[in-house]
Structure 1
Amino acid sequence: MGMSVTITAAVAADAEQILKLQYLCYQSEAALYDDYGIEPLTQTLEELRAELVRGPGLVARLGSEVVGSVRGSVDASGTARIAKLIVHPRMQGHGLGARLLAGIEQRLSEDDAAERYQLFTGHRSESNLQLYRKLGYAPVGTERVSTRLSIVTLEKNRDGSPARTSSATAAL
């Protein structure tokens, strides 16, 4: 009999498992950009715990193992910033990332706090870009960080309608 994956609020006790999973999941991103100094790989346990205090996080569990996670926060303008959506490599391709993203969107829109959702990924992270587009996100900006990396910012409105795109990012 197989276990099902459950999604619940992240708590302080989950921080160590989340950090280990984050380190595993971001190896492919680091390799893609030849940059192993990216923030998800250098974040400390204390920094992650502080993130969980500042805004909600979710974890996906298979039994007692954390196999996915996402975090977010809402700023004063009503923009929900979603970050560090991760799914264990062996669990990818089964809709878990979409479930986590939908869950954090719902959590961030409680009390009508979020008017729009925003997230970002690297310009070469095609599977991430494909997932976000499939879920209604549209590119709204690109920032060149280095010769190897440009960050693509994507948004969608709370009602699910796509954010306005600029001509410079519409082709991404």
Structure 2
Amino acid sequence: MGMSVTISAARAQDAEKILKLQYLCYQGEAELHGDYTIEPLTQTLDELRADLEGGHCLVARLGDEVVASVRGRIDASGTATIGKLMVHPRMRRHGLGGRLLDAIETHFAQDPAARRFQLSAGGRKDGDTRLYRSRGYAPVVSGDTRLDLLTLEKPATAGTFVASA
């Protein structure tokens, strides 16, 4: 008997599970750059809880297990910054990252203040940038050159995927 993955808003009690997933998922990024002091690996549980309270976070669950997550927030300029899109290594390559990205875009697109979506991706990871480009994101500025980050964005109304029931 198989289980299906469900996507829903994160709950306060998910914080520890999200932090453990984050630590697991960002090991490869740290190894790629030779830097294990990147923020996703040094963020504390209290910092993550504050991050969750100040924005919107979605999780994907397989049963009770949190297997993927994404979070974001809208700033005063109308930029919906999306970040920490992560999928458990054993769940990758099944479209879950794309489903989460679509879901958080749909959430923010409902806010009349949202003018654009923006996110950052490691320039060395073609899979990440390929996903974002396939969803209409385009590079706008260079990010942190130490980590080879690329900032991408798109208008909040351009090609936002809206799921139908």
**Shorter-chain TM-score category?**
over 0.9
Sequence identity, in percent? Answer: 62
SS in 1 for 2:111: helix
Distance 1:138 1:62 in 2: 32
Deviations 1:91-138 (A, max 9, x none): 111110001011111112223121110000121121111111111111
Distance 2:112 2:80 in 1: 11
SS in 1 for 2:28: helix
Residue 157 of structure 1: aligned partner: 155
Distance 1:78 1:144 in 2: 22
Distance 1:144 1:75 in 2: 20
Q: For this pair of structures, how many residues does the alignment match?
A: 160
SS in 2 for 1:111: coil
Residue 166 of structure 1: aligned partner: none
Tell me which moved more, 99-108 or 53-62.
99-108
Deviations 1:62-82 (A, max 9, x none): 000000000000011111000
TM-score, normalisation: structure 2:
0.93
Runs (4 or more) in structure 1 with deviation over 3 Å come to: none
Contact 2:120/2:143 (CA < 8 Å) preserved in 1?
Answer: no
State the AA in 1 paired with 2:12. Answer: A
Distance 2:56 2:12 in 1: 11
Residue 140 of structure 1: aligned partner: 140
Superposed CA RMSD: 1.4
Residue 97 of structure 1: aligned partner: 97
Deviations 1:24-66 (A, max 9, x none): 0001111111111000000000000001100010000000000
Contact 2:109/2:157 (CA < 8 Å) preserved in 1?
Answer: no
Tell me which moved more, 81-90 or 105-114.
105-114
Matched, 1:59 2:59: yes
Task: State the 1:144 CA deviation.
Answer: 4.2
Distance 1:9 1:130 in 2: 26
Deviations 1:153-172 (A, max 9, x none): 000111226xxxxxxxxxxx
State the AA in 2 paired with 1:11. Answer: R
Distance 2:36 2:121 in 1: 16
Distance 1:125 1:53 in 2: 29
Matches within 5 A, 1:117-136: 117-136=117-136
